[in-house]
Amino acid sequence: MAVITKSFSVKTKGDTDIKNITPQVGDALKEAGLSNGILTVFVPGSTAGITTTEYEPGLLKDLPALFERLIPKGDDYHHNLTWGDGNGYAHLRAALIKSFFTVPFVKGELILGTWQQIILIDFDNRRRQREIVVQIIGE
Ligand code: ZN
């Protein structure tokens, strides 16, 4: 049993920018050289999250529209009064989808559905560079 930690960085435009990070996660798994186990993808930070979807143009519009309905960017949030950084909506959206995604792997391959990609969503109200951590536990 081994624990191997990898990372890679992703530049985002913020404002609910959705990035497909499946290829980088797959590369991290290959570099680790483990065959069977479980892998966690984690984004440090409280205004971005990681989840899964089919990465296609329709959903790339539907997902931001959903977040806008649930947690409108222009509403008043207590957080904005605390810091004046105007990204209260971003923290709430990130809390909803959480900061990690876990997936098993077998024979060196991620067990994802055909149309299931791992995505980073950056909700912050400015451009960011995110350091994504991939921790792999297996043999
Ligand atoms: Zn904030």
Check residue 16 and report its DSSP letter.
S
How do the domains of the chain map onto residue ranges?
Answer: 2-138
As beta bridge partners, residue 122 has 17, 48
What's the gap in Å between 48 CA and the centre of ligand 1? 11
The model carries a pTM of 0.96
What whole-number distance in Å separates Cα of residue 82 and Cα of residue 19? 29
Per-residue confidence at 7, pLDDT binned at 50, 70, 90? very high
User: Which tokens belong to 119?
Assistant: 């995505």
What whole-number distance in Å separates Cα of residue 80 and Cα of residue 85? 6
State the pLDDT at residue 8. Answer: 98
| Residue-wise burial string across 102-123, b where 16 or more C-beta atoms lie within 10 A, e elsewhere | ebebeeeeeebeeeebbbbbbb
What's the gap in Å between 82 CA and the centre of ligand 1? 8
State the pLDDT at residue 128. Answer: 98
State the pLDDT at residue 3. Answer: 98
What's the gap in Å between 111 CA and the centre of ligand 1? 35
Does the domain at residues 2-138 carry the CATH identifier 2.60.120.460?
Answer: yes
What's the gap in Å between 39 CA and the centre of ligand 1? 29
Q: pLDDT tens-digit profile of 47-93? A: 999 999 999 999 999 999 999 999 999 999 999 999 999 999 999 99
Contact by Cβ (8 Å): 5, 137: no
Q: pLDDT tens-digit profile of 20-51? A: 999 999 999 999 999 999 999 999 999 999 99
